[in-house]
Structure 1
Amino acid sequence: MHKEIGGYFQLELSNKGSFMHDNGVLLNSGRNALEYILRAKGNISRLWIPYYTCDTVLEPLVKLNLPYSFYSIDEQLELQKLIELQHGEYILYTNYFGVKDRYVHYLSEQYGSQLVVDNAQALYAEVIKGISTLYSPRKFVGIPDGGIAYEDLPLERQVYELDKSYCRCGHLLRRYDEPASDGYIDFRANSGQLVMQPVREMSLLTRALLSNIDFIQVRERRLKNFAYLHKHLGTSNLLDLNIPFFCPMVYPYRMREGADIRKKLIADKIYVATYWPNVFQWCASDALECRLADDILPLPIDQRYGSCDMERILNVINN
């Protein structure tokens, strides 16, 4: 097929940068990165997953018809007790908010190749040799889709088609011209397009967008904002954040009556999500996981903001 010459212009992207996970398997979503890992492992008798995690982790399990069981975590987002895995069993651990890097290393020593690390909220966390790991960069930067898998038993790459992402960019473009609240319906529609998608290779558009991002600057700004909030909230935070870590997704501030403060923040146009609403269906109402979902405020610290924005967040919380 001949290359086209002429015609209308495309979006101008430099493609001069380097994405930190270029050596991973670049796929079309985080959940499909998990599916890739599970397919590569082959004969899985059971996957253990936390109650406190996003319900999208169930999608690849349903697609592959894999047995799974839930486990509980404790107040510090760690396993209540170590699970004795049988042959063919694996355990998925979520690196919560990108602040559990140290604990991930501990689990890797306990479980070795039977551990699967969900780094969807920890884009900058390092890959531990021999440990299956997945990432979801759209949790950190403005891209329409994409996921990365690291797996020592890779599948044949040629079986996957190249994805296309142009139809998933409406919410990203709209955010330039209109407030987030106006484009939220587009954001939700885009997320809906990712449901039950076949595993495909990451699109050329998503790769190009990633190559235009200064990930060093992104990390520096996030860490600076995190440090600002932690200086003022650390002593009252019910979570022990186990500093150091590579780079958090948010500042997870756990406080009593967190749900009430969340409403105050949202009313002031500071959008604080609930991680994760599915927990209220999975767990009894008095379960720790429900309290965590209610009480933890994932405060925005990303690269769009500075100290004045952090001060505004503090003012809403404290007044």
Structure 2
Amino acid sequence: MNEACQAVPPAFERFGGELPAGCDVLLQRPTAPDPKILLFSHGRAALAWFLEAFGPFNCALVCAYTCPTVPAFFRRRGLAVTRFDYGETDLSSLAKRAEGRALVLLPAPFGIAPWLDAGALAGALGERFAVVVDAAQSAFGHLDFAPPAGGAVLSCPRKALAIGDGAALRLGKVPHGEHSAIKALPLAGEAVRLKRAARELFALKDPDRETEALGLVEKSEKALPDHACRITERSRDLLMRTDRAHHMRCRSANAAALDSELSELECLLPPGPGTPFAWPFAARDRGALLSRLRERRVFATPLWPNAVPRDSAHLRACRMSDALVALPVDQRYSPGDMRRMAELVRACL
């Protein structure tokens, strides 16, 4: 694959959707492993390991605007869940009302740095709390952001790279013996097999196979277990050989192009360091807009439509859940592609 961000072939113009196999730029040699970074199959697997290694935990504080699978996972693990609003600045007061040992999951929204300093928050809360920076919407958030004392940074490369599985957990200090223990963990075998098969189908660029590929993706997500699983060797190799600089440069340039092309829209991508996962904006009639975009093969994402009840007191999270549309800015595309996609978006508004 060429070093430049690749344009979408005119015969198969498609914006968004699952990443096809082979779309990442790879280095000739893998980067050296960091002993403070542990690799798992997926985000819940990494969190399951953290809960066991640093627990027991009684409760989890989670942003109300997050993937619904996250609070559901904590509840299945027996933790009480307390939600806070998107952008909440007084987490210390809320957290200190929690009983027992608590995990605070601090979002790095859309791959951008959290709105609070994770290190300062961990220091203010004390040893009863563990702060985990949730950079799940990133491939390299575990390298972009520093882990707070007693906590970690979680990223999910499987969501931003064309690999079958992969989540990374960076800690300040790895407990003794855990590297060997993680090597002995099981694999998320069936889920990984299905995701790889879906990516291979998308790589064919055959519209007639898209429904089949999407079905495999859905089955893959449902097959992901709640227990700790290690990353597969194939995905580890691809992750360690991915050109991080190219990945970051491509996504940042594409997001900047949409900033310019769609300046009339209310962009919801927060300021700050990081690598954009998508270009989110607020839409008035989201359902109708998404339908019009799909007709033009722009597969934007409504993140997350079922995350927050409409009667929720978490007003900022509720608005995000109701109105947000995320446009793709990933490494398949160039700024020129973004200009073409912006034309399609404007035609649908």
TM over 0.5: yes
Q: Is the 8 A contact 1:72 1:80 kept in 2?
A: no
Deviations 1:179-230 (A, max 9, x none): 4733111111221221x24312211111122234222211111111011011
* TM-score, length of structure 1 as denominator length: 0.82
Q: Which residue of 1 aligns with 2:156?
A: 136
Q: Which residue of 2 aligns with 1:207?
A: 236
Q: For 1:233 and 1:156, locate their aligned partners in 2 and report how far apart those are by CA, in whole Å.
A: 47
Of 135, 138, 141, which aligns to 1:119? 135
Q: Which residue of 2 aligns with 1:264?
A: 292
Q: Which residue of 2 aligns with 1:7?
A: none
Q: How has the CA–CA distance of structure 1 residues 147 and 59 changed in structure 2, closer, same or farther, with 3 Å as cutoff?
A: farther
2:91 is aligned with what amino acid? L
Q: Is the 8 A contact 2:27 2:242 kept in 1?
A: no
Q: Provide the secondary structure at the position in 2 that maps to 1:192.
A: helix
Q: For 2:256 and 2:90, locate their aligned partners in 1 and report how far apart those are by CA, in whole Å.
A: 31
Q: How has the CA–CA distance of structure 1 residues 263 and 21 changed in structure 2, closer, same or farther, with 3 Å as cutoff?
A: farther
Q: How does 1:5-154 map to 2 (within 5 A)?
A: 16-18=29-31, 23-73=36-86, 78-79=87-88, 81-84=90-93, 85-86=95-96, 88-99=101-112, 101=113, 103-105=115-117, 107-112=118-123, 114-122=130-138, 123-124=140-141, 125-130=144-149, 131-151=151-171, 152=173, 154=175
Q: For 1:296 and 1:168, locate their aligned partners in 2 and report how far apart those are by CA, in whole Å.
A: 26
Q: Provide the secondary structure at the position in 1 that maps to 2:270.
A: coil
Number of aligned residue pairs? 299
Greater alpha carbon shift after TM alignment, 109-118 vs 267-276: 109-118
User: Over aligned residues, Cα RMSD in angstroms?
Assistant: 2.9
How much does 1:287 deviate? 6.0
Q: Provide the secondary structure at the position in 2 that maps to 1:53.
A: coil
Q: For 1:296 and 1:20, locate their aligned partners in 2 and report how far apart those are by CA, in whole Å.
A: 37
Q: For 1:156 and 1:91, locate their aligned partners in 2 and report how far apart those are by CA, in whole Å.
A: 22
1:119 is aligned with what amino acid? A
Q: Provide the secondary structure at the position in 2 that maps to 1:298.
A: strand
Of 320, 327, 333, which aligns to 1:299? 327
Q: Provide the secondary structure at the position in 2 that maps to 1:25.
A: strand
2:218 is aligned with what amino acid? R
How much does 1:294 deviate? 2.9
Q: Is the 8 A contact 1:19 1:210 kept in 2?
A: no
* TM-score, length of structure 2 as denominator length: 0.76
How much does 1:104 deviate? 4.1
Q: Is the 8 A contact 2:269 2:279 kept in 1?
A: no
Give the unaligned 5+ runs of structure 2: 1-21, 124-128
Q: How has the CA–CA distance of structure 1 residues 15 and 205 changed in structure 2, closer, same or farther, with 3 Å as cutoff?
A: farther
Q: For 1:255 and 1:121, locate their aligned partners in 2 and report how far apart those are by CA, in whole Å.
A: 21
Q: Provide the secondary structure at the position in 1 that maps to 2:229.
A: coil
Deviations 1:57-101 (A, max 9, x none): 13542443122212222xxxx1164342236223212211123x1
Q: Which residue of 2 aligns with 1:185?
A: 215
Q: Which residue of 2 aligns with 1:158?
A: 180
Q: How has the CA–CA distance of structure 1 residues 197 and 70 changed in structure 2, closer, same or farther, with 3 Å as cutoff?
A: closer
Q: For 2:326 and 2:34, locate their aligned partners in 1 and report how far apart those are by CA, in whole Å.
A: 25
How much does 1:19 deviate? 7.5
Deviations 1:252-282 (A, max 9, x none): 12243344322222221111112113315x4
Q: For 1:38 and 1:249, locate their aligned partners in 2 and report how far apart those are by CA, in whole Å.
A: 26
Q: Is the 8 A contact 2:269 2:280 kept in 1?
A: no
Q: Which residue of 2 aligns with 1:274?
A: 302
Q: Which residue of 2 aligns with 1:176?
A: 203
Q: For 1:61 and 1:117, locate their aligned partners in 2 and report how far apart those are by CA, in whole Å.
A: 16
2:81 is aligned with what amino acid? Y
Q: Provide the secondary structure at the position in 1 that maps to 2:137.
A: coil
Q: Provide the secondary structure at the position in 2 that maps to 1:201.
A: coil
Q: For 1:241 and 1:58, locate their aligned partners in 2 and report how far apart those are by CA, in whole Å.
A: 23
Structure with the larger RCO, 1 or 2 (CA within 8 Å, 6+ apart):
2
Q: Is the 8 A contact 1:274 1:297 kept in 2?
A: yes
